[in-house]
């Protein structure tokens, strides 16, 4: 609730926010990109600083093939992966490395 009040105050003062981009985000620092704020990964509830740093390091190696690949490279668990997926950060990434015939349609 405290964070929401701060965000509400920032919107009232004309600040805008960007969604978190896995390939541009920093682990523990907010960034200003094109005049808008991008939150740090560690600002996601339930995601600690170590996990955020691990994710940022894994993203430096290029795009993730799947959420399974994300978990392996970033060394995070299913809970973190699900949380980021629910927030839309991993929304475009398929669950597994296996292709389905329906993926080709």
- Domain extent at residue 84: 2-100
pLDDT tens track for 57-104: 999 999 999 999 999 999 999 999 999 999 999 988 888 876 656 555
User: Phi and psi dihedrals of 57, rounded to 5?
Assistant: -65, -40
- How many domains are contained in the chain? 1
| Tally of residues, the chain | 105
Look over the chain and give the mean of its residue pLDDT values, rounded to a whole number: 88
The CATH number that applies at residue 24 is: 1.10.150.870
Side-chain-facing half-sphere of 1: CA atoms under 13 Å: 0
pTM of the full structure: 0.80
29 belongs to a structural domain = yes
């Amino acid at each position: 609730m405290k964070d929401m009040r701060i965000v509400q105050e920032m919107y009232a003062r004309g600040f805008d926010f960007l969604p978190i981009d896995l390939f541009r985000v920093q682990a523990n620092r907010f960034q200003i990109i094109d005049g808008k704020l991008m939150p740090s990964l560690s600002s996601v509830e339930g995601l600690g600083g170590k996990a955020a740093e691990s994710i940022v390091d894994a993203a430096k190696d290029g795009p993730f093939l799947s959420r399974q690949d994300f978990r392996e490279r970033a060394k995070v668990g299913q809970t973190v992966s699900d949380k980021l997926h629910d927030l839309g950060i991993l929304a475009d990434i398929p669950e597994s490395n296996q292709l389905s015939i329906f993926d080709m349609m």
